[in-house]
Amino acid sequence: MLRLLYASTSPYSSKVRMAALYAGIAVDLVPVRTEDKPAELIASNPLGKIPVLVLDDGRSIHDSRAITQHLNRMSKNALFPRNPDKRLEAEVLEALADGICDCALSMVYERRTRPEDMVYQPWLDRQWAKITGALDLLNANPPKLPKKITAGQIALRACLGYLSLRFAGKWEKGRNRLVRWAARFDEKFPELKSCVPA
């Protein structure tokens, strides 16, 4: 069986867990703490980053976007449309959601790894400006939530879950449409809610 090395708070792990569940692909979930540098994680991904999907033949796939592409091939396009334009739309939404998470994680690590007097506020402000710009764009035109969703919508739900975990009460201001979008996602796909970062 496929093994997924993941962390419950990671938005990228969340996306992959949701994608596998949505695509009907069984995975053995293996929680890891990256700061402990567990041997299995380092052997599977020398960067020590999660998630990592370990295949039955021992090969590993790292980077959540590479994993969603692999899951899509395994599931015969359950996560990305065959239509080139619609597929591109899904891929761009996934990349935007991941980019928001990249900025948010850099803010978390800036505060977590530096002494308080060395935290560089201009860096935090710059990352937050990127996040708010992307969120405002999405709030102005939230993605549709059809019966068949893509890895793009899944990535966005994981992203908003991560923002709620780390920036609760801050990202939502003035973005009611996006807040409602997340709630509708959970209503339409309740089986995926347990995978949202927590």
8 A C-beta contact, residue 78 and residue 147: no
Going from N- to C-terminal start, the domains of the chain cover 2-74, 84-195
Give the CATH fold of the 2-74 domain.
Answer: Glutaredoxin (3.40.30)
Give the CATH fold of the 84-195 domain.
Answer: Glutathione S-transferase Yfyf (Class Pi); Chain A, domain 2 (1.20.1050)
pLDDT means per 10 residues in the chain (198 residues)?
Answer: 97 98 98 92 94 97 98 98 98 98 97 94 98 98 97 98 97 97 98 95
Q: Do domains 2-74 and 84-195 have the same CATH topology?
A: no
Bond prior to 51 in cis (omega within 30° of 0): yes
Confidence (pLDDT) at 198: 81
8 A C-beta contact, residue 6 and residue 17: yes
- Spatial neighbors of 33 by CB under 8 A, at least 6 apart, are 7
pLDDT tens readout for residues 45-98: 999 999 999 999 999 999 999 999 999 999 999 999 999 999 999 999 999 999
